[in-house]
Amino acid sequence: MRARLIAMAAALGLTFAGAGLAGVAHAAGDAAELPDHDWKHTGVFGTFDRSELQRGFQVFQEVCASCHSLEFIAFRNLAEIGFSEDQIKAFAAEYEVEDGPDNEGEMFMRAARPSDYFPSPFANPQAARASNGGALPPDLSLIVKARDGGIDYLYGILTGYEEEPPEGVELAEGMSYNHYFPGHQIAMPEPLYEEAVEYGDGTEPTLEQLSHDVSVFLAWTAEPEMEIRKKTGLKVLIFIAIFTALIYIIKRRIWARLH
């Protein structure tokens, strides 16, 4: 928990100066109002849809993972969104992590295990910046909590790219126009497009669907304990209601004798 809080603080203070979901704005002006989108997990009784989470993980793995990490999510955590042990082992085996030292005092690379955390796609921040025009792609574990607007902001950014900027708007070199991004100029090229990912369950991979699914997945990575928290809260409310009713009944009986 302490590590997650520290990471959240770091994410909140992160200035992403080039590529990424929160690049630096190079033009004056505010972003448009975020789209009003329906999310199944929001609300007091809302829960995550496992199908959406699994599709969102597929989008992350096939599109986002080439630049972004999930530093605070272990492969074994994927069991919480419905993946089997064998599937998780297969996912982990696709990555390599540094381990060691060995008997000779040397560090070495090995295939990841379910107990390992998702490794960064880059060896170090300098390598990440060198591959992204000087910008450091942020870790996405807590991105939904680290941005004003949360999941709506993320969905808006992913669906807000426009091929051409409005008349009179001149884009800086290497920038893209995004309707929902503050300043409207963002260094991250449009990451998603129609049929960018082929879903195994037959769901049509429209831009909106892809953006929805990966946004839900990243909402889960930011708060994997959400469903437990809601269930616990509901149990506490039920307990308080029953306890209050019992106290009221006892009070009535005691005062009835006194009268």
pLDDT tens-place string over residues 4-27:
544 444 443 333 333 444 443 333
pTM above 0.85, yes or no: no
Ordered by start, the domain boundaries in the chain are 1-70+126-224, 74-116, 226-259
How many Å is the Cα radius of gyration of the chain? Answer: 23
Given a cut of 90, whether residue 258 has pLDDT beyond it is no
257 CB-near residues (< 8 Å, 6+ apart)? none
pLDDT for position 7? 47
Q: Between helices 207-222 and 50-62, what is the axis angle to 10°?
A: 100
Taking Cα atoms as reference points, which of 73, 223, 218 lies closest to residue 157? 218
Q: Which residue has the higher pLDDT, 8 or 243?
A: 243
Taking Cα atoms as reference points, which of 160, 167, 75, 168 lies closest to residue 114? 75
Instruction: Average the pLDDT over 81-87 and give the result.
Output: 97
pLDDT for position 155? 97
Given a cut of 90, whether residue 257 has pLDDT beyond it is no
Domain at 1-70+126-224: CATH code: 1.10.760.10
For 84-98, the DSSP string reads -HHHHHHHHHTSEEE
pLDDT for position 1? 47
pLDDT for position 132? 87
For the chain, the DSSP string reads -HHHHHHHHHHHT--B-SSSTTBPP-SSSPPPPPP----TT-STT----HHHHHHHHHHHHHTGGGT---TT-BGGGGGGGT--HHHHHHHHHTSEEEE---TTS--EEEE--TTSBPPPSSSSHHHHHHHTTT--PPP-TTHHHHSTTHHHHHHHHHH-EESSPPTT--PPTT-EEETTSTTSEESSPP---TTSS--TT-----HHHHHHHHHHHHHHHH-TTHHHHHHHHHHHHHHHHHHHHHHHHHHHHHHHHH-
pLDDT tens figures, 122-153: 999 999 999 988 888 999 999 999 999 999 99
DSSP 8-state secondary structure symbol assigned to residue 74: B
Q: Between helices 150-159 and 207-222, what is the axis angle to 10°?
A: 150
DSSP 8-state secondary structure symbol assigned to residue 161: E
pLDDT for position 31? 63
pLDDT tens figures, 31-69: 688 988 999 999 888 999 999 999 999 999 999 999 999
Given a cut of 60, whether residue 79 has pLDDT beyond it is yes
Given a cut of 70, whether residue 101 has pLDDT beyond it is yes
Residue-averaged pLDDT of the chain: 87
Cα(105)–Cα(173) distance, rounded to whole angstroms? 47
Report residue 212's pLDDT band, with 50, 70 and 90 as the boundaries: very high
pLDDT for position 30? 62
pLDDT for position 259? 62
pLDDT for position 256? 76
**Rounded percentage of the chain residues whose pLDDT exceeds 90:** 71
pLDDT for position 26? 38
Contact 42, 230 (CB under 8 A): no
DSSP 8-state secondary structure symbol assigned to residue 77: G
